[in-house]
Chain A
Amino acid sequence: MNGEATRLGASGGGLAELRQSVAGHGAERTFRAICLLALLLPLLLLATVIVDAVADGAARLGWGFLTSFPSRHADKAGFLPALVGSGALMVLTAAIAIPLGIGAAVYLEEYAKRGRMTALIEMNISNLAGVPSIIYGLLGLELFVRVMDLGRSLIAGAATLALLVLPMVIMASREALRTVPNSLREASLALGGDRWQTIRKVVLPMSMPGILTGIILSIARAVGETAPLVTIGALTYVAFLPDSIGSAFTAMPIQIFNWISRPQADFHANAAAGIVVLLAFMLVLNGVAIWLRLRLQRRLEW
């Protein structure tokens, strides 16, 4: 034993060599530092935005801000129509995008034959997810507002946002469907289930956590969208709450944009407060997505 150690030590300072390789040499360290910086920089920027918004908007944040209508007087102006508008948009967008998105994903994953046609469709869905949102806005303006004559209404806005998130909903749902092992589909078929029964009773229940997570994250993105809503003509000053899906509306990002483009500094505080509310809204949605996923996944543990 002792002799061995001596021999090791004798063979050209082996231990020192080993130490060096554990600590890593220069290039390794530099690379690690760059990666860490790449991680910290966006986090730092995000923190700055939040701190800045909270600092600027703190004075305006309060129950009154959430329950008042906009006003010419910055200190009386509230966020209520924007909050309600965004909430209504979210619900309507989900109502349109969820059935369409899941339906399309189920067709592509469970029914469609693999071939050139499906490959083309799949490629285009991925491409659509990358199309700038203002293009969707223009499409919505032409199709929903003008051709279908829905006007500058909640439903036109929701339909536009639904188009925007549809590719993401489809892709997330497909990913989730793919995680269902084929052996379970086979089990169901072998028990005399047909395709539809297999999808409804076996495949969808199992892929629900993934599908729901994808949907919520997509919808959260839609709630933060401004450009398509500006394009289809959401109002910027709304002193009423939407009373039907055909009603005119405003939304949080629009209201924030409106306030920030005013010259008076007081309105800028309103904008900051609006940003805090919007961020909180998104955070809650993301939180719900995570909670749902964990909860449903626990039920599915192998």
Chain B
Amino acid sequence: MVEQREIRSSEERVTHSDFALVMTKSHSGVAAEEELEEKIAVSRLEAWYGSNKVLNGLTLGIAKNRVTGIIGPSGCGKSTFIRCLNRMHENVPGAGVKGKVLLDGADIYDPGVNPVRVRRRVGMVFQRANPFPTMSVRDNVLAGLRLQGARDASTDEIMERALKRAALWGEVKDRLRDPATGLSGGQQQRLCIARALALEPDVILMDEPCSALDPSATYRIEELIYELKENYTVVIVTHNMQQAARVADRTAFLLSGELIEYDATDKMFTQPADSRTEDYVRGRFG
């Protein structure tokens, strides 16, 4: 009953068997989901800032075209965890990483890998909307391409497609030349999503994307996340358990840099295996 779930994409046997081991432990008693293709396999991931260890050897797999939620109390390392998935973590002075993160089977921490390339495939949306204030709506969407020096004529098409996918096109199509900072908070966050989508990534990481937004803007983003999984693999960190329950297919619970439990979201919220998970999702701490 436990592991009918089969792990595909399999050059790295060692890592995958590690992963399967942990999955067995935390997965006990899960009703089998449909077969999922694995997009990212994280194995024994450790991360630290200076002498402060934040992640203590996480191992988990992230399913393709699904939304994976990461929950846990403040300081549990959930933001650090997703920042390790596109090599943003190492930009902080004193930060370091150990372990493996396989993206379609290739380790993004391999010494030969250029982090800039990784970030083009693994896009990121931050806690606070951060459109570039010197740029118009249009230029913000195209910022990623511009940064990379792209200058072809198809950019308008790319921009329109990205804005449509971010469910923002209708609201801004007449304001493309206006400064991006004139948009509302929710629109700015969707603009940031569009900006990430314009690069055609495979994976979108979202670090508490709604924490600065009002409920109706939050609702729109959540709807959008639901649509995005058609084409993308989404990993979302959230402080809000209702949000995790609403948008995530699978949810991982982190505590003090350890993976406590990782399972189908329904299961996590209705019959968690670990008592700490239960305490957290019932709101007894955090």
Whether B119 pairs with A184 at a CB distance below 8 angstroms is: no
A198-224 interface mask toward B, CB cutoff 8 Å, 1 = contact, 0 = none? 100110011000000000000000000
Given the known interface contacts A186-B88, A206-B133, A300-B134, the answer about A192 and B144 at a Cβ–Cβ threshold of 8 Å is yes
Whether A192 pairs with B134 at a CB distance below 8 angstroms is: no
Contacts of A184 in B (CB 8 A): 130, 132-133
Whether A301 pairs with B147 at a CB distance below 8 angstroms is: no
Whether B147 pairs with A181 at a CB distance below 8 angstroms is: no
Q: Does B143 contact A (CB under 8 A)?
A: yes
Contacts of A113 in B (CB 8 A): 93
Q: Does A47 contact B (CB under 8 A)?
A: no
A205–B147 Cα gap in the complex (Å)?
Answer: 13
Contacts of B147 in A (CB 8 A): 188, 191-193, 197-198, 201
A145–B144 Cα gap in the complex (Å)?
Answer: 49
B177-209 interface mask toward A, CB cutoff 8 Å, 1 = contact, 0 = none? 001010000000000100110010000000000
B: contact size bracket: 20 to 34
Within the complex, the shortest CB–CB distance from A117 to chain B, in Å, comes to 14
Q: Determine, out of B21-29, B64-72, B121-129, the stretch whose residues face the partner at the interface.
A: B121-129
Given the known interface contacts A191-B119, A191-B195, the answer about A300 and B86 at a Cβ–Cβ threshold of 8 Å is no
Chain A contact residue count (CB 8 A cutoff): 24
A47–B192 Cα gap in the complex (Å)?
Answer: 53
A116–B212 Cα gap in the complex (Å)?
Answer: 38
Given the known interface contacts A183-B128, A198-B147, A201-B146, the answer about A189 and B91 at a Cβ–Cβ threshold of 8 Å is yes
Whether A187 pairs with B130 at a CB distance below 8 angstroms is: yes
Within the complex, the shortest CB–CB distance from B186 to chain A, in Å, comes to 15
Q: Does B271 contact A (CB under 8 A)?
A: no
Residues of B within 8 A of A (CB): 86, 88, 91, 93, 116-117, 119-120, 123-124, 126, 128, 130-134, 143-144, 146-149, 179, 181, 192, 195-196, 199
Residues of A within 8 A of B (CB): 113-114, 181, 183-184, 186-194, 197-198, 201-202, 205-206, 299-302
